[in-house]
Structure 1
Amino acid sequence: MATSGHTTKAPQSAADEGLAADVRAPLDAAITELRTGARAWSLLSLGQRRTLMQRLRVSTGAVAAEWVDTAATSKGLAPGHPLRGEEWLSGPYAALVALDAYADTLGALAAGRSPIEKARLGTAPGGRTVVHTSPLTATDRLLLSGYSTEVWLQPGVTAAEARRTAGLGQREPAASGGVGLVLGAGNITSIPYLDVLYELVAFNRVSILKVNPTQDAMVPIFERALAPLIEPGFLRIVRGGGDVGAYLTQHPSISHVHITGSEATFRAIVWGTGGAATRRRREGRPLLKAPISAELGGVSPIIVVPGSWSRADLRFQAEHIVTMRLHNSGHNCIAGQVVLISADWPQRREFLHELRTAYDRAPSRPVWYPHSQSRLDAARASYPDAAWCGGGTRALVETTETDAADLETTEYFAPVLGVVTLPGTGQEFLDAAVHHANDRLTGTLGANVLIDPVTQAALGDGVEHAIAELRYGTVALNAWTAFGFLTPTATWGAYPGGTLEHAPSGMGVVHNAFLLDGVERTVVRGPFRPFPRSVSSMIGGRALSQGSVLPKPPWFVTSRTGAAVCEGFTRFRIDGDWAKMAVTLMKAFGA
């Protein structure tokens, strides 16, 4: 890293064209200030860094309500809208639990302990080491009853090695990672916040954060929430479009780039555009000189394993799938897009009826993300027989595997849900669905599997082997992979193997509050049934699936009390008031 105290001026390049000197100057100045901040960070002890996380917790809690109101309003959710709860969980809640987890890790390292010294370790198919990453506290067991996460490490990483290497950059806190560029996501408000934290804690890298223009209204809130990082020069936040982003990616003082966005944007950053980009790729000469990590989305499958389901099961799992698609109006990199269902399941028609009903009745909301309407128009053109639900704002496409090309290769990033029928039942169907997801769907970010307890018990180890075979960075069993995003001690990112030439879902991971090395994937497990029906999963005192003492999850788009419960969960993370939490839990049972 350069150490000069003078502003470094980036060389003139194609990225500079159209970027006026009065725009470049403050960007250069911000990077110079960050270079000083990088040196200051390298001098902080682990204990001081832990204290900084606690200060961030206070400043973030102080703006939580304004954060949610600004985010919800920018997405067209008026006060009182039932889906405002999404902004509590995917905004300040996600930030607060991450800060607590990073503080715990820094505290362990400061005391000379491994961050996973107290974590339970196990094994998975192929001899993989498994780190059980949640729940870790009694509070987690109550608020998120029945849900758990575990991180599977890459084959060959032993338990002893996992304990020894956990800590990443904090094992050498004085080694500076320089100044990084974070190109923030435009859909979920906690993403840029969390990406900046991970760069700092995992790699000792201070950041210049360029927010996506869709989140410009959030900048004043980010500035107050992240003031403990901004004041000492560990963070600078800037606005701007693609021209500003292009200038920053080519700046000589940027040591690393992290982006959450589209694969097209990633390719433009790495290789450029037009004929010159084609030549660079052919010759192996990337335009980008700094290393890059990325989270780029993809087409996420929902594998529905046939079994004997009650009518309540059919309805609950239909609402579960609808939530996977309609959360944030479908503007999610992890939104479920393709339901893989058995043609030989006797309950297939009944389930599809429940799915169509839930998809149509989910609360109305704007389709707000830029260019979403053109994506919906493309779906209408590709699938003229699609059912249009929710007042014509969401498409449900039922098709066969031979006619599903667009659904399986195009991330719509809009409320388009496909249903693809495959043959078989039992293990035969599950294996076929896994291969279909691996070979036909674009991306490797997340896959979801729904299976009833009796069928899961009958298949035995076959389910675990299917999870191992799925080439996805997060696999959720009877849960949505977004739960892995929300859990700070889980990891979030593409399945390993992405390259500059081919990275459909990106490269690297984020969150990862235990700072684990050698990560392969996160596995999320949830209850097939909510309380009280979850009791039926206990047969002869033996749990056939994850039990739960909670009713319908508050993040379901069909939850009547979701907004109040999600707000209550977040406020509890801020103040720890159990009396108020008791009221929130009573509201949860009214869902």
Structure 2
Amino acid sequence: MPAAPAPTEPRALDEAVARLREAAPGWAAAPLAARAALARAMLEGVGRTARRAVEAACAAKGLPSDAPQAGEEWLSGPYVTARILRQLERSLTLLARNGNTPVGKLSETVDGRLSVQVFPLTRQDRLLLAGVRAEAHLVEGMTEERLHETRARFHKAPDHQGKVCLVLGAGNINSIPAVDVAGKLFNEGKVCVLKMNPVNAYLGPILEDAFSPAIARGLLAIVYGGAEVGSYLAHHRGVDEVHITGSDRTHDAIVWGPPGPERDARRSSGTPLLAKEITSELGNVSPVLVVPGPWDAGTLRFQAESVAGMVTYNASFNCNAAKMLVLPRGWRRRDAFLAAVEHFMALSPARRAWYPGAADRYRALTEGRAAVRRVGQGEGALPWTLVTGLDADSEDPAFVTEPFCSILSETAVGSEDPVDFLEQAVAFANDRLWGTLAAHIVVHPRTLADPSLEAALQRAIRRLRYGTVAVNTWAGYGYGLGTAPWGAFPGSTLEDVQSGRGFVHNTVMLEGVEKVVVWHPARTFPKPPYFPSHATTDALGRSLVRLETRGRWRDLPAVVLAGIRG
């Protein structure tokens, strides 16, 4: 396990905040060319430190650095970070040149909302993810004129003259702290103090190296420690606002104080302990709605492996990991589909339960249940686990508890009629499952080809109260695309925060986003890199990082070869 730096002392915290406050006005007023240059310098730093970051993460999570599973760390660490920094540099450059950031074609949703294509936007992305597209659905009242007027709002009409944001970094995915900082710096013109999560504090010194140009200018400080350091900074008079990626429990402790009568009184009176703006990306019991249809064995198995990968990736320590299969009641394909999911989960080696509290959460959600299927075993590892046959009409704790461990549960609603199933499944996901971050829909292409069924699917997508809806793929794509805003469905309050407030990533700097929809073919070649059977994820991840950090077309063939060989 890599060593974590010691907690930062209060005096050093005060000095860091003072340096940031001094630099904040200059950064808020910086020209676009200077912002783009800093994004480029930070991108170069990511390329320089990528291998060290991956090796440290593999050591911390118990992964061999030369195995396919190490590809997870290349992809969800330096690759996503580099991708977002490169997109931010491009957006800032085009904003200076053309007066706006790039977006794709505009269209209208089934209920009349404005929709804007956010992926693909470049020729390279069309080549890398052929058949994948993403669109952002905007809030009611957003017009084409308003879209163009409000995009990159801070850069066109700054709403502050220098602010300090505390970023409370996530411990599970190593790109999250880096890209949360990048969003505040480049989308919003704010300087940042990043407190590393104790779980991945080993990454901090590597980030200090990669982002040294920002640190040298007083635009970023990286500090260490647990909840006490986070609380000290959140309430520091030199910090203007807070952004957290983590759990709703941590969010509520910061906003309302520790559990007890005083917190209850604050919540009931609407007087939070933290009197500052706080944005957040928290958690989710992520549903997978499997629409009945003319499923052939091959396409059904492809989608079963997709679901398995949504569970096994990063040992299932993802806020968007698949957690609740919602199948049609009486579905004739149920047993075959569950068996295929179980088979593909077994292809991924058992993983050490490295995130704190995983074993306790696992026991709480599996003990006393009769229908539990376990596959894979290893020292210190939790088995991949299917908990089947949950009663959708019950008050099962699995519906409202994010496992954050290797559990996938299953329930059934509706019938084998696709329209009836979609009506019932959407209502169940919206009203019974905790969280508003990400949902998945699995649907056969022939179902989509039927105009009446395609219209029912579009209505279901619009009704789902989730910030990302992924069709025939994992919502992790929505997280990693960069141009797609990532966050919870709007409308959550501090009193009932659900999966959080606000969007991150969003490298085209859209305003008025309601949700993102990611579309993927029901079956593709090459297979997606999150599939458990992918044999060259590590080579693919390394190649993608080279391509993104160097920006050279001659690095593309290695990416293609690694993808095909997987």
Where on the TM-score scale, by shorter chain, does this alignment land: which range?
A: over 0.9
CA distance in 2, matches of 1:125, 1:572: 38
Q: Alpha-carbon deviations, 1:307-364, whole Å to 9, x = none?
A: 1222211221111001111111111111110000112322222112212222233222
Asked whether 1:417 is paired with 2:408, we answer yes
SS at match of 2:393: helix
Asked whether 1:136 is paired with 2:118, we answer no
CA distance in 1, matches of 2:335, 2:66: 36
2:385 — aligned with what? 395
Alignment CA distance shift 1:468-1:197 (3 Å): same
Report the residue type matching 2:559 in the other structure: T
Residue pair 1:169, 1:201 contacting (<8 A) in 2 also: no
Residue pair 2:7, 2:226 contacting (<8 A) in 1 also: no
SS at match of 1:402: coil
2:436 — aligned with what? 444
CA distance in 2, matches of 1:583, 1:328: 24
Q: Alpha-carbon deviations, 1:249-288, whole Å to 9, x = none?
A: 1111111010001011111111101221111112221100
Pairing of 1:352-367 with structure 2 (within 5 A): 352-367=338-353
1:315 — aligned with what? 301
Report the residue type matching 2:284 in the other structure: G
Using the size of structure 2 for normalisation, the TM-score is 0.94
Report the residue type matching 1:408 in the other structure: F
Q: CA deviation at 1:403?
A: 4.5
Q: CA deviation at 1:382?
A: 5.0
CA distance in 1, matches of 2:179, 2:91: 16
1:13 — aligned with what? none
2:212 — aligned with what? 227
2:420 to 425, 428, 433: 428
Higher deviation after alignment, 102-111 or 248-257: 102-111
2:511 — aligned with what? 517
Asked whether 1:59 is paired with 2:45, we answer yes
Asked whether 1:295 is paired with 2:281, we answer yes
CA distance in 2, matches of 1:169, 1:398: 48
CA distance in 1, matches of 2:364, 2:384: 12
1:560 to 535, 550, 554: 535
Pairing of 1:528-567 with structure 2 (within 5 A): 528-531=522-525, 551-567=526-542
Pairing of 1:563-582 with structure 2 (within 5 A): 563-582=538-557
CA distance in 1, matches of 2:195, 2:552: 36
Alignment CA distance shift 1:148-1:177 (3 Å): farther
Residue pair 1:492, 1:511 contacting (<8 A) in 2 also: yes
Q: CA deviation at 1:27?
A: 0.6
Residue pair 1:42, 1:174 contacting (<8 A) in 2 also: no
Q: Alpha-carbon deviations, 1:443-475, whole Å to 9, x = none?
A: 100000010100122212111111000000000
Pairing of 1:214-293 with structure 2 (within 5 A): 214-273=199-258, 274-293=260-279
Residue pair 1:306, 1:426 contacting (<8 A) in 2 also: yes
Residue pair 1:367, 1:393 contacting (<8 A) in 2 also: no
Residue pair 2:8, 2:223 contacting (<8 A) in 1 also: no
Q: Alpha-carbon deviations, 1:75-108, whole Å to 9, x = none?
A: 1101222211111111111111111211122122
CA distance in 1, matches of 2:432, 2:366: 22
1:4 — aligned with what? none
CA distance in 1, matches of 2:563, 2:395: 38
Report the residue type matching 1:570 in the other structure: V
Report the residue type matching 1:311 in the other structure: A
SS at match of 2:179: helix
Higher deviation after alignment, 182-191 or 123-132: 123-132
Residue pair 1:299, 1:442 contacting (<8 A) in 2 also: yes
Residue pair 2:81, 2:178 contacting (<8 A) in 1 also: yes
1:107 — aligned with what? 93
CA distance in 1, matches of 2:89, 2:62: 35
CA distance in 2, matches of 1:164, 1:280: 39
1:540 — aligned with what? none
Q: CA deviation at 1:426?
A: 1.1
Higher deviation after alignment, 563-572 or 245-254: 563-572
Report the residue type matching 2:82 in the other structure: L
Report the residue type matching 1:422 in the other structure: V
Q: CA deviation at 1:404?
A: 6.4
Q: CA deviation at 1:174?
A: 8.3
CA distance in 1, matches of 2:7, 2:13: 10
Higher deviation after alignment, 556-565 or 89-98: 556-565
1:487 to 481, 485, 490: 481
SS at match of 1:293: strand
1:537 — aligned with what? none
2:445 — aligned with what? 453
CA distance in 2, matches of 1:141, 1:589: 16
Q: Alpha-carbon deviations, 1:490-512, whole Å to 9, x = none?
A: 01111000111111101111111
2:520 to 526, 536, 543: 526
Using the size of structure 1 for normalisation, the TM-score is 0.91
Q: Alpha-carbon deviations, 1:224-250, whole Å to 9, x = none?
A: 111111110000000001111111111
Report the residue type matching 1:251 in the other structure: H
Q: Alpha-carbon deviations, 1:115-169, whole Å to 9, x = none?
A: 14x5211111222111101111121111112211111110110011001110021
Structure 2 alignment gaps of length 5 or more: 1-5
Alignment CA distance shift 1:22-1:377 (3 Å): closer
Pairing of 1:109-124 with structure 2 (within 5 A): 109-116=95-102, 119-124=104-109
CA distance in 2, matches of 1:404, 1:582: 52
SS at match of 2:170: coil
Residue pair 1:170, 1:201 contacting (<8 A) in 2 also: no
CA distance in 1, matches of 2:372, 2:461: 31
Asked whether 1:32 is paired with 2:18, we answer yes
CA distance in 2, matches of 1:382, 1:506: 32
Structure 1 alignment gaps of length 5 or more: 1-19, 532-550
2:168 — aligned with what? 183
Q: Count residues in correspondence.
A: 552
CA distance in 2, matches of 1:21, 1:101: 33
Report the residue type matching 2:236 in the other structure: H
Higher deviation after alignment, 332-341 or 387-396: 387-396
SS at match of 2:238: coil
2:321 to 335, 359, 367: 335
Q: CA deviation at 1:578?
A: 4.3
